[in-house]
Amino acid sequence: MATDYKFEGWVADDPSSVDGKMVWREYEPKVWEETDVDIKITHSGICGSDIHTLRAGWGATRFPAVVGHEIVGVAVRVGSQAEGGIKVGDIVGVGAQSDSCLSRDGPCDACEVGEENYCTKRVNTYNSLHRNGSQTQGGYALYHRCPSYFVIKIPKGIAPEQAAPMLCGGVTVFSPLKRYNVGPGKRVGVIGVGGLGHCAVLFAKALGADKVVAISRKSDKKQDATQLGATDFIATAEDEDWATKNARTLDVIISTVASPKMPLAQYLGLLSRGGTFVQVGAPEEPVPLSAFALIRTRVHLTGSVIGSPGEIREMFELVAAKGVKVWVETRPMKEANQAVLDMVDGKPRLWNIRNEKREDLALSLNTPPASVGVACSRQTLKGGYYPI
């Protein structure tokens, strides 16, 4: 069944696209299935994963590619077999994952317990292949097509520009905070005060942690961290004794940075006996590790990737209940190339998202009028998830 709208967006043809060379044009969407939902995009976040993918930093990219996996918009077409009670006109979102096996190929130890993000057949929202063989394409575009199981209804009261960055950046830190029981009585450290890090501080506070320590190289982030709710701040480049002074003072650490040169042994030393260090930032190079840093205090070193649909819904419940608001700035979709360049250069402060009239976008790009498009930008932490 043909649609009366086109799938157009910012298409990357090769790694040079990260240098501001994405091209606006029509692209081939997923072949429609009755379990799908079409979304007219209003907001799309720019995540550090987008940058790594554009420049093929995490391995080969399936060019031509449309990146962006923090997508919010209006459901405009809902398949007859769609799940989740989604109706045309609903405000919905899609995060970094578009599908998993859902035990359709036999028992799946991840999907059966609601951890679809750890399915060995996970389908990413871009730079991946759908089960029907179609290439996945992301949210720097006018429309997005996605299997309904991974389409999330945005609760009333949560603005689209708030919801978008939470669909990847937010749940990426919410998931481990919940998994490791952050709440009253817990002392939490957050390494990096950018897009992911600022969400981690907000969520740790909302979950009721007794102590939330923001950790950054320099003290220029201290004021922001305090406003976000951090109770303490460590500037590692400005106090040579930071590791000794703060040894064994934290129960859980969420590391959002992605520099392969991070002082991992010293970070692990901040944990109390049996504490947990969770890495969510993703370096392009290996991180050195001393076994003694693990042995001395029986600490746990682990990682976490995005979040399941269930965790995204649980996160939004907390957001609605506690009034959590990420820091957002706005930028029109037509400036997506410049937003990417600014992200790579570390210019954005935190999140950037802005609606613009489809007609204005179409005029500026010499394309027929279509739906609203938005680029989101967050502050940069060098490497990993650069919160654009």
Residue 135 lies in a domain: yes
**pLDDT tens, 318-367?**
999 999 999 988 789 999 999 999 988 877 655 444 445 443 443 444 33
In this structure, the answer to whether residues 123 and 30 fall within a common structural domain is yes
Q: Which residue has the tokens 């995540």?
A: 47
**pLDDT tens, 201-255?**
999 999 999 999 999 999 999 999 999 999 999 999 999 999 999 999 999 999 9
Q: Quick check: 370 pLDDT over 80?
A: no
Model-level pTM?
0.90
Number of domains into which the chain is organized: 2
Query: What CATH number does the domain containing 144 carry?
Result: 3.90.180.10
Minimum mean pLDDT among 37-51, 146-160, 190-204, 362-376: which range? 362-376
Compute the average pLDDT of residues 79-84. Answer: 98
Residue 161 lies in a domain: no
User: Domain range for residue 89?
Assistant: 8-154+327-377
